[in-house]
Each structure stands twice: as structure tokens, then as C-alpha cells.
Amino acid sequence: MGFSVILNWLHFWDVAAALMSLFIFSCLLQRFTNKNGPMLWPVLGIAPSLFLNAHTIYDWATMALIKAGGTFPYRGVWFGGSHGIITLDPSNIEYMLKTRFNNFPKGKYYRERFHDLLGNGIFNADNELWMEQRRLATSEMHSGRFMVHSYASMQELVHKKLLRLMEKVVVSGSSIDLQEVLLRFTFDNICSVALGVDSGCLDLDLPQIPFVKAFEEATELTIFRFMVPPFVWKPMKLFGIGFEKRLKEATKIVHCFAESTVKDRREELMKLGSLEDRSDLLSRLMDSEKQQFSDKFLSDFCISFILAGRDTSSVGLAWFFWLVQKHPVVEKKILK
């Protein structure tokens, strides 16, 4: 009896030692053969590297891309279905977004992770649905009326809110997080241009807006779905636990805001018979005589546009001011 127990114990340690040796060998093989990207761990893929560098994820990703020459493959946790290529090479991007665009649909893996937040909006659509929304967006956004409205909205936001806030900071001698201010600025701007509403983000006291906070949280938690396999986040979603519970609460606030805005505008249209006095994107789509869009379609469409116009513009502005601060000669030329 005692001998068989010892034998089983030895077998256990033999298997453990063999697995550990295989793990170490795989790590060493990956380290010496993978010259184009971060470490892809056995079983876990890129996940450990992401979690270890979560606090400096953008710096880490930038350095990884530079080291790899601008492009590297990645793989997620086994059975998670996550694998692909990360690139910032302009020629690769042009090939995917222009030359062979039809060869690179978002696919089920992407769409099911973003569906709770974006629904069937343009950034979560493929094929005919994507083409239809792109056609609508292009025709409306390139119209003279919308361009005039966008310019006027931006000018009003700068003079009535942004400059007053900057003046308050200068007078008080306090400091602010410029990137946060620019995020608020672009959020106010996209809400005004796309929805025709004032989110109140850039008010002088810089208030916490529930919709804005929920939008940020919903975006971050949706991205987190890409870091964990579906057999982890799907049960969490089903039982309403962990980060999926927070995601559900945040997306509910976001959709309530968008649906309420669409509902109010629809009632205004029915009351007045026309939205001719409004030039925002939502009103122009709703007032179109050519085709009728459902409230769900309009809500998803507008949420996608908020996502598109917020981070991209604010990050670009933040980098611009950082570069100007680093180059005093350029700053002097701008002031002249």
C-alpha cells in the first residue's frame, strides 16, 4: 500500500517535471525564434505580457512595435480564438483600409465583443450594413450645411467654454490636466455636432457627467474582453459578475442617453413637422425624406460617432500641444 502511494507520488512529480521542462523549453524557443514582437508564452500567449505592462501599456506597445519594425503577430490564451497581427506600417494600413478593404471584415470575433456597446453601428458593422452607414455619413458630413454647422459649433465651444476655462485657470494660478480638458472639449464638440445636445463636460467647474463617465468605462471594459478568452467573459456576462456587471451598468447608461436623445428629437419632429432649423447629424438623418430609420439604428449610429470623434481628436490635440511645448521656436512662429 505504502509503496504504491510512493510510486503514484513519483509519477505525479515526473509529469510535473516534464511539463515544467516543456514550458521552459517553449519559452526559450519563443525567445530565440520570435524576433518580431513581444513574448508569446506557452498556453497563455501574449496575455502575461499585457498584464505585466498594464500600467505602461502604450509605452510598452510602442517600444514593441519599434523593436519589431512596425508589425508583429500575436496570439491570445489557448482556445480563446484571439490571434492576429498588430501593425502601424502605413503601407499595411493602406492595403487593409483601401487596396483590399473587402478582404478584412471585422468578423464575428470583433463584433460580438463590441455588440453590447455599439450594437450595429458603423464601427461594428460589415458588408452592406457598413456600406450603407458609410454612404449616409459621407453624404451628410460632406454637405455644405453640415460643414458650416461644425465650424460654428467648434468656434462657439472654443470662445464660450474652452477659453473661459483657461482664463479661470490662469487667474487662479492653478494647474489642470490638459489631456483631460481636451477630452472634455472633444466630447462636448462631438455631442453638439452629432446629436445636437450639450453634454456639459466643459463647464467651468468641470463636473462629472454620468453619461461621459459611463461611456469611458464601457469603452475600457469592452476592450478588456479582448484580453480574456470567451469561456471567461461570457459566463461572467451570463451571471452578471466581475467586470461584466460593471460593463452592463455602463452600457445601460450610454444607451439610455442615446435612446432618450433620439426619442426627444423624434417627438420634436412630430410636433414641428420638420427639423429644418437643426443642422446636427442626428436631425439631418431623421429629417430625411428619402428613407426612414429606426430609433435603434439612429441610436447605434450616434454612439459610434461619439466613439469616433472623442479620443482621436483629443489625443491628436494633446500631442500637438506637447510637441509645441518641446519646440519653442515653433511656438514663437505660431504666436507671430
Given pLDDT bands bounded at 50, 70 and 90, which one contains residue 91?
very high
pLDDT at residue 334 above 70?
yes
CA dist 294 and 264 (Å) reads 14
| Residue recorded with cell 487662479 | 172
| CB atoms closer than 10 angstroms to residue 232 | 15
Q: What is the pLDDT of residue 6?
A: 52
Give residue 218's pLDDT.
93
pLDDT of residue 245: 94
In which band, very low, low, confident or very high, does the pLDDT at 116 lie, cut at 50, 70 and 90?
very high
* Dist CA 111 CA 125 (whole Å): 7
> Does the CA dihedral 266-270-274-277 come out positive or negative?
negative
Q: Is the pLDDT of residue 11 over 70?
A: no
For the chain, what percent of residues have pLDDT higher than 70? 89
Q: How far apart are CA 258 and CA 314, in angstroms?
A: 22
Q: Tell me: the pLDDT tens digits for 235-288? A: 999 999 999 999 999 999 999 999 999 999 888 888 888 888 888 888 888 877
State residue 294's pLDDT score. Answer: 86
Which H or E run includes 203?
none
Q: Output 9 or 321, whichever has higher pLDDT.
A: 321
Spatial distance between the Cα atoms of 240 and 249, rounded to a whole number of angstroms: 10
Task: Burial-class residue 28 by CB neighbours within 10 Å (0-12, 13-18, 19+).
Answer: exposed
Q: In this model, does residue 1 exceed pLDDT 60?
A: no
Question: Which grid cell sits at 267?
Answer: 417627438
Q: With a cut of 70, say whether residue 56 has pLDDT above it.
A: yes
3 state SS of 63: helix
Q: Are 39 and 31 in contact (CB under 8 A)?
A: yes
Number of neighbouring beta carbons within 10 Å of residue 305: 23
Q: Would you state the pLDDT for residue 289?
A: 56
Q: Is the pLDDT of residue 213 over 80?
A: yes
Distance CA 232, CA 241 (A): 11
Q: What is the pLDDT of residues 17-44, one digit of tens each?
A: 776 776 676 666 666 666 667 777 777 7
What confidence score (pLDDT) does residue 90 get? Answer: 92
- Are the beta carbons of 71 and 92 closer than 8 angstroms? yes
Segment holding 89, helix H or strand E: none
pLDDT attached to residue 107: 85
User: To the nearest whole number, what is the mean pLDDT of the chain?
Assistant: 84
| DSSP secondary structure letter of residue 314 | H
The b-or-e profile of 72-84 (16+ CB within 10 A means b, else e) is bebbbbeebebee
Mean pLDDT of 289-314: 81
What average pLDDT does this structure show over 294-308? Answer: 87
| Residue-level pLDDT at 230 | 85
pLDDT of residue 140: 79
